Structure 1
Amino acid sequence: MQLYPGAPTETRPNYLPKLALKPWVKPPPEDLMLTNARVVQPATGTILEKHTIIVKNGSIASVVSDEVQKSRKDKDKDNEEIRTVDLNGAYVCPGLIDCHVHVTAVPGVKNMNEYTQLPEQDINLRTAYVLKEMLLRGFTTVRDTGGASKRIALAIEEGLIPGPRLIQCGKALSQTGGHGDSAPALSGGPSTDCCSGHASGLSRVADGVPQVLKAVREELKAGADFIKIMVGGGVASETDAIETVQYTADEIRAITTTCRQMGGKMTTAHAYTVDAIRHAMTNGVTGIEHGNLIDKATAKLMASNGIYLTPTLSCYGIMVRPPFEDFLPPDGKVKNAQVMAQGLEALRIAHEAGVTICYGSDLLTSMHALQTEEFSVRAGVLPSNAVLKHATTNAAQMLGKSSLIGTISRGAYADLLVLNANPVEDVTVLDRPEEHLLVVMKQGRVFSSLIEGLKVDL
């Protein structure tokens, strides 16, 4: 029916997709057959030479040798129409996983004090930039340890904004005067959440069992995938020494018990010292962030109890060199030097004890651009194949997604990086994506490509 003169009686076909309820949701990516690939297997530190990867509906349908695939060709009618791309011997690595990021700690400010003054909308818009850049560096999954929300994760999942798959904890939990409390240190002053009550702050303050129960339940209700607790002092916080141990045993047990009861959610703890790490473990925490001051006995205890460790080593050097030499206040620089001095030794101790170690960058503001530097730092003390596992196999295990990410195997998501160099032999090639990263594919969709035949699909 025509409602007014000249109006069309039907919607033009090319407009129909944009009239959907959520027009940004794209159809599944194109199926692909990638041949003549060197397939990186991080779990074993091996390379599958001359292999074919078939990608269907965003997942890996098969990984077989080129020879086997050719023998199947005449019988395999289902794959006849799939577009084939010859990778000419390039290396195909699983998408990288960064287990300690803060995607809402955005660029555009000189330090975290300036960050607290940013309007929430500015943070949200800049977060979209941070996420896209992480994906283009090859990180197809990230675990945000304070600041991000389920709303951001869903926006990425639906394709509203490009970015890595986002695992998030909402806001980290801190006691008053703990690592996540950035309110002014005034006697009798008002109690406020991290970042002066900032709606997009990285953490929130909760004291006593009733408050921490309410806080953890609120974060889980809002869709947190795990919970993070500040259990020791930190570099960037002004009122707590590194040696402090934070939260009581009752408070931590209230949090970890609630996480187990509400869907078996993981609880991880910010902790540098032996005392803080053992306090967290004893009361049910299953992950440790940083751990720079760990000793051999504690590392062995972590390994025997299946406690994950996510060190973040490159950030300490980055925060004190140009152009970030004024990022930390004077007392923060002292604490930074304290934890940096033993960070590499802690990594070696944990590795030798058999702790499952994951990759973490923990960068803020414009430092995000140096996210891959962690590979080079760790490679200074550990073999390349071990460091690669940190950002693939181990990280996927901690996230409970070993069959879906961190692996190139049948049924896994097609999170694939195409490289012109072998990361098993030299993991630092991942720290130079501008030289070595040819393709970034997340769940079968190509987000960047320098290879003919693989077109970007944004």
Structure 2
Amino acid sequence: MTQLILENARIFDGVSEECPEGMTVLVEDGTIREVSDRPIKSVDAQRIDVAGKTLMPGLIDMHVHSYFSDLDPRVLNDRDAPYRTAYAIKKLGHALDSGFTTVRDIGGGDYPLAAAIADGLIRAPRFFYAGKILSMTGGHVDYRTPNEKHHTHGYCSCASMNWAGVIADGVDECIKAAREELRRGAHCIKIVASGGVMSPSDPIWMNQFREDEIRAIVQECVERRTYVSAHCLTAESTRRSVEFGVRCIEHAALIDAETANFVAEHGAYVVPTLSVLFSLVESGLEMGLPPDRIDDVRTIYEESIDALDLMRSAGVKIAFGTDLLAGFYTQQCREFELRRDVFTPVEILRQATSVGAEILMQAGKLGCIEPGAHADLIVVDGDPLEDIGLLAADGRNLDLIMRAGEVVKNRLN
């Protein structure tokens, strides 16, 4: 039995604006066992004096792509698994050093990567993954150019597919694809329900998958007691996805007020991703983004700020995500700065902790400080409820990072 006591802490618990001071937290075998306003007695415990700084849950990034090492997703197939894995190791290590103790890989992450992390072979945050993204032919994850006739994106006898997704058309194929990804350990299923910027043949306004296809995928997830998340840029794709049972919307950059109210009324979640859009507008051309895409990206980014305001006013449950690709992953913490034009610091902190945990179906285990929760914790040198920018410094203002009770970084003593 390994015990560690964090003393003299000011605690943000993941929800409340009230942050009690002089608190003590007992961590035992990777779990928070006790939270007290009095000293905790233990003969064998290691003790760390937090020195009155802010102890809070580790951060959760709900939209990462661990393998996405190039802006052209077709390049990744040629690079093959060893290159993609090397990139993932560097990207996930940076996330952990920045205070993200949990990430959700929402397209491309797989069982081998998850197993390597679980076995301690890779230094990384706690890892949830959606497996391969489900796309219809000509959808956002169909990376063929118009002159290509055949694809290897669907399942064959050897289960070959592209690195990011699988093509499924019709109810039966959608059911099979969802079941296969769930069999491979996916924690949820991701579909693409609108067009996107990075794919060659689908305009942004295009709705993807029929109602019966989406409902079939949702039902498979319901039977596995999990959920569907959908890539949606437009208001229409967002509304129809929620109407058909999708629980979580990625991006929603072009949402309108009516749809925001609809999403809120149905209790669905949204994971906006401002940092990827900002990065592409700022440096996309230098990183290889095709020149004909930059205007679309700029328009989406500009409207996404207004979309945040609409969703906030409607009371939509919003989580924290970044979606950073290629070399942009080092800008993960910029998301905190981009959101503060719309949200208060405590709202952003909830988005990056307790709301993300709700989506992951890990409320009470992640994104909180309470007995029985995983000991995924960070100590901030300062008050992030007053200055959210403290979390936008790539971990430089973090004096302690703990994942599953293991101290990853400690500048306290």
Same-fold status (TM-score > 0.5): yes
The answer to whether residue 235 in structure 2 is matched with residue 274 in structure 1 is yes
Identity rate of aligned residues, in percent?
35
More moved, 82-91 vs 264-273: 82-91
- The equivalent of 1:256 in structure 2 is 218
**Which residue identity lines up with residue 356 of structure 2 in the other structure?**
A
Query: How far apart, in 2, do the equivalents of 1:41 and 1:256 lie?
Result: 32
Shift of 1:253: 1.2
C-alpha distance in 1 between matches for 2:272 and 2:210: 24
More off after superposition, 118-127 vs 131-140? 118-127
For residues 244 and 312 of structure 2, the distance between their equivalents in structure 1, rounded to whole angstroms, comes to 24
Partner residue, 1:57: 29
Q: Is 2:150 the counterpart of 1:190?
A: yes
| Distance in 2 separating the partners of 1:352 and 1:36 | 37
Judge conservation of contact 2:133–2:191 (CA < 8 Å) in 1: yes
- Check if 1:306 corresponds to 2:278: no
- Partner of residue 88, structure 1: 51
* TM-score where L is the length of structure 2: 0.95
- Secondary structure at the aligned position of 1:297 is classed as helix
Residue type of the partner of 1:103?
S
Which residue in 1 is equivalent to 2:187? 225
- Post-superposition shift, 1:116? 3.2
1:378 counterpart residue number: 339
Matched, 1:216 2:178: yes
2:286 equivalent to 1:325: yes
Indicate whether 1:246 and 2:208 are aligned.
yes
The equivalent of 1:41 in structure 2 is 13
Three-state SS of the structure 2 residue aligned to 1:289 is: strand
> The residue matched to 1:405 in structure 2 has which SS?
coil
Gap change, CA 1:333 and 1:205, over 3 Å in 2: same
Superposition deviation, residue 160 in structure 1:
2.0
In the TM superposition, residue 451 of structure 1 has moved relative to its aligned partner by 2.2
User: How far apart, in 2, do the equivalents of 1:176 and 1:115 lie?
Assistant: 20
Aligned counterparts, 1:399-438, within 5 A: 399-438=360-399
* CA pair 250-391 structure 1, distance change in 2 beyond 3 A: same
- 2:409 and 2:285 map into 1 onto residues whose CA distance is 29
Structure 1 counterpart of 2:124, from 149, 163, 173: 163
Matches within 5 A, 1:332-343: 332-343=293-304
The corresponding residue for 2:67 is 104
5 Å-filtered alignment, 1:72-83, equals 73=41, 79-83=42-46
Q: Distance in 1 between matches of 2:196 and 2:71?
A: 19
Listed one character per residue, the Cα deviations across residues 176-227 of structure 1 (whole Å, up to 9, x for unaligned) are: 111111012127x113329xx9866122211112211111111111111100
Alignment deviations for residues 293-319 of structure 1 (CA, whole Å, 9 cap, x no partner): 111111111111110100001111101
CA deviations over 1:329-378 (Å, ceiling 9, x no partner): 12321221221111011111111111110000001111111111111000
Match of 1:43, as an amino acid?
V
Contact in 1 for aligned 2:74/2:143 (Cα 8 Å): no
Deviation at 1:251, TM superposition (A): 1.1
Mapped partners of 1:354, 1:319: distance in 2: 29
Runs of 4+ in structure 1 deviating by more than 4 angstroms, as ranges, are 197-200
List gaps (5 residues or longer) in structure 1. Answer: 1-27, 74-78, 453-458
Residue 116 of structure 1 contacts residue 198 of structure 1 at CA under 8 Å; is this kept in 2? no
Shift of 1:113: 4.3
In the alignment, the residues of structure 2 paired with residue 180 and residue 300 of structure 1 have an alpha-carbon distance, to the nearest angstrom, of 29
How far off is 1:384 after superposition? 0.7
Q: Displacement of 1:412 after TM fit?
A: 0.7
Displacement of 1:139 in angstroms is 0.6
Structural mapping, 1:337-352, within 5 Å: 337-352=298-313
Residue 321 of structure 1 aligns to a residue whose secondary structure is: helix
Question: In the alignment, is the contact (CA less than 8 A) between 1:41 and 1:48 conserved in 2?
Answer: no
**Structure 1 residues 179 and 231 mapped into 2: Cα distance closer, same or farther (>3 Å)?**
same
How far residue 172 of structure 1 moved from its aligned partner, in angstroms, is 0.6
Cα deviations by residue, 1:143-183 (Å, 9 ceiling, x for unpaired):
11100012222221222212111111111111111111101
For the Cα contact (< 8 Å) 1:320–1:328, is it kept in 2?
no
> Distance between the aligned counterparts of 1:284 and 1:382, measured in 2?
28
235-244 or 318-327: bigger deviation: 318-327
Aligned counterparts of 2:297 and 2:321: Cα–Cα separation in 1:
17
- Tell me the equivalent position of 2:196: 234
Aligned 8 A contact 1:138 1:417 in 2: yes
Counterpart CA distance in 2 for 1:138 and 1:435 is 10
Contact 1:94 1:417 in 2 (8 A): yes
Any idea what SS the aligned residue of 1:257 has?
Answer: helix
